[in-house]
Structure 1
Amino acid sequence: MTEIGRSIDFVIGAFVCLLLSCRGSYGLQSDVNCLRALKDSLEDPFNYLSSSWNFNNATEGFLCTFTGIECWHPDENKVLNIHLSNMGLKGEFPRGLQNCSALTGLDLSNNKLYGNILSDISKIVPLVTSLDLSSNNFSGEIPKDLANCSYLNVLKLDSNQLTGQIPAEIGLLDRIKVFSVTNNRLTGPLPTFSNRTFSAESYANNPGLCGVPLPSCRAPSKKTHLGVIAGAAVGGMIIAAFGVGIGMSLYLRRVSKIKKDDDPEGNKWAKSIKGAKHIKAS
């Protein structure tokens, strides 16, 4: 993160802390609960968290000494940023982060996290300006609710197993500066951002994506439609002809039956004529 980005995060964090009275015991305990829940929800095979995150310490600012934790002020247990990249951590997205009420930066990249990105993520990290979940095993669709994280400047979701379309609502993030969803299994049209266009590199290795700056989305094939129409017409004609044939067959059978019923002895009129000729000859 650049110095400008850190400054922005610091200002936002400080402002939020003032609103929430960070110096109060609630602020302290909520952030303690946040990191404790985070640690408990993740497998830590290399003991990065186990060796550093000691909750038995009750001194001011003790959370700020934890590996990967930055506070808005070193003497206050108010978490500003969490950087836990490349630690081999396993588990699902930690819902306990909602207790870090002033969190503005979250980096969980290059781990082994899995499952869906929470559908209500804006309620978990509402003030986040930088969210990096890249190089994990997250699956499912990108939640539309990310659009409600309105302070986002950086959003990295690349190198996961995400599927479906990129929600059009993502284009509402008018502060976004960095956006990447490369190396997933996404499909459909790209979102339209209000004040920025990202290069094709931001969407690479998602064969199903389309739209500027990628190749245009294909319209439904007219040939396919014509084929369907022609097939339907031919099918209709065949069915109609078949129906006419059946109808004619039934009609002829009925006529034959009527004639037979009118002349049960079979061609009575012909016999009558033959008989008359015989008499005349006599």
Structure 2
Amino acid sequence: MRNRVVLFLLHTLSWLLLSSDTCHGVESDIRCLETLKLQLQDPNKFLDSWDFSNKTEGFICKFNGIGCWHPDESKVLNICLSNMGLRGPFPSSLKYCTSMTGLDLSNNDLSGSLPEDIDLIIPFVVKLDLSSNNFSGNLPAKLGNITYLNVLNLQHNQFSGQIPWQVGRLGRLTTFNVVDNPLSGQIPTFTNKSFGAKNFANTGLCGKPLNDCVGPAKKSHTGVIIGAAVGGIIFGIIVVVVLLSALRGVEKVDEEEDVEGNEWAKSIKGTKGIRVSIFEKLVPKMRLFNLIKATNNFSRNNIIDIGRTGTTYKANLSDETAGNLSF
């Protein structure tokens, strides 16, 4: 008897919990559609049939463009509002349709950018079709977090910037189309699927399956070459300046060393004898070495006279012979 009571209580509790979840889910989905109708402009009155005064079970399942998990349960499975002339932004109220797996808003006049937290608004969507609208701005990177996506159709919009690399991580993606958008940059690598060039018909995109990108990699390589060339030229100029400075220093030292003005003596060939003109005694021919030694390297202090015939030096020979010689 006691076991029967326990089982009865467990069944009752389970029923109450399930009823609470269902009721909460129904209320959330009704709120989703009520707010959606308020957010979108409907010039063609397609959404006028959405009557929320009728509170019978599953009443929202009869709404135009709404599919439910079960006809008698107000739990949205998918929303298809294609080709209705609707206007406005991407509806954030869709976050209240917590069990929705399909969303088709194609062929309308919706505009603005997609919300950055789109993965929190439609986390379980399998098919997302936003084609042929006026959506713009960058594609949110968090599209890559909607992991159940099989179909992502964004063609014929005004999306710009790059395709986020996170989109390439969508392992279940079988259909992807971004034709006719001013997108640019590298096409991401997709994990489990390769898409044809027809899915990326935008002049600004590059990489497989389109032409190779000629941007960052080659530009950076060119920059390295230019930088190396400029660096080489600057280094060459520095070397030339240093060499010229060194040569000037050597010339200056040579000039300082030749303060006696005897540079001309280096041009005298020492292999021939030099005839001495005036000496107290007769002096034989002399070698250059002896002559330089006798005149103290032709020092100015040894100059006696500078005349038409040349310069006369006082010379002291090793044999104590003294005299004057002219060149």
TM-score normalized with structure 1 length? 0.73
Deviations 1:85-117 (A, max 9, x none): 111111111111000011000001111111111
What amino acid is the match of 1:214? Answer: L
Given that residues 182 and 206 in structure 1 are in contact (C-alpha distance below 8 angstroms), is that contact kept between their aligned partners in structure 2?
no
Given that residues 181 and 202 in structure 1 are in contact (C-alpha distance below 8 angstroms), is that contact kept between their aligned partners in structure 2?
yes
**Residues 6-21 of structure 1 aligned to structure 2 (within 5 Å):** none
Larger relative strand fraction: 2
195-204 vs 217-226, which moves further: 217-226
**Residues 62-141 of structure 1 aligned to structure 2 (within 5 Å):** 62-141=59-138
**Partner in structure 2 of residue 216 of structure 1:** 212
Matched residues in 2 for 1:101 and 1:79: separation? Answer: 8
Deviations 1:176-235 (A, max 9, x none): 111111111222222222221111111112433323x11122231445542343245446
Distance 1:28 1:230, change over 3 A: same
3-state SS in 2 of match to 1:98: helix
**Partner in structure 2 of residue 40 of structure 1:** 38
3-state SS in 2 of match to 1:155: strand
Distance 1:235 1:85, change over 3 A: farther
Distance 1:175 1:223, change over 3 A: closer
**Residues 1-282 of structure 1 aligned to structure 2 (within 5 Å):** 24-49=22-47, 51-211=48-208, 213-218=209-214, 219-221=217-219, 222-234=221-233
TM-score normalized with structure 2 length? 0.64
Distance 1:227 1:175, change over 3 A: same
**CA RMSD, 1 decimal:** 3.3
Matched residues in 2 for 1:119 and 1:188: separation? Answer: 20
Given that residues 89 and 111 in structure 2 are in contact (C-alpha distance below 8 angstroms), is that contact kept between their aligned partners in structure 1?
yes
Give how far 1:42 is off: 1.0
State the identity as a percent: 49
The answer for unaligned runs of 5 or more in structure 2 is 1-16, 246-304, 306-327
The answer for unaligned runs of 5 or more in structure 1 is 1-18, 248-276, 278-282
After the TM superposition, list the runs of 4 or more consecutive aligned residues in structure 1 that deviate by more than 4 angstroms: 19-23, 221-224, 235-245
3-state SS in 2 of match to 1:184: coil
Distance 1:23 1:241, change over 3 A: same
What amino acid is the match of 2:44? Answer: F
Matched residues in 1 for 2:85 and 2:99: separation? Answer: 26
Matched residues in 2 for 1:141 and 1:172: separation? Answer: 18
Matched residues in 2 for 1:243 and 1:141: separation? Answer: 55
Deviations 1:43-71 (A, max 9, x none): 1111111x211111111211111111111
3-state SS in 2 of match to 1:70: strand
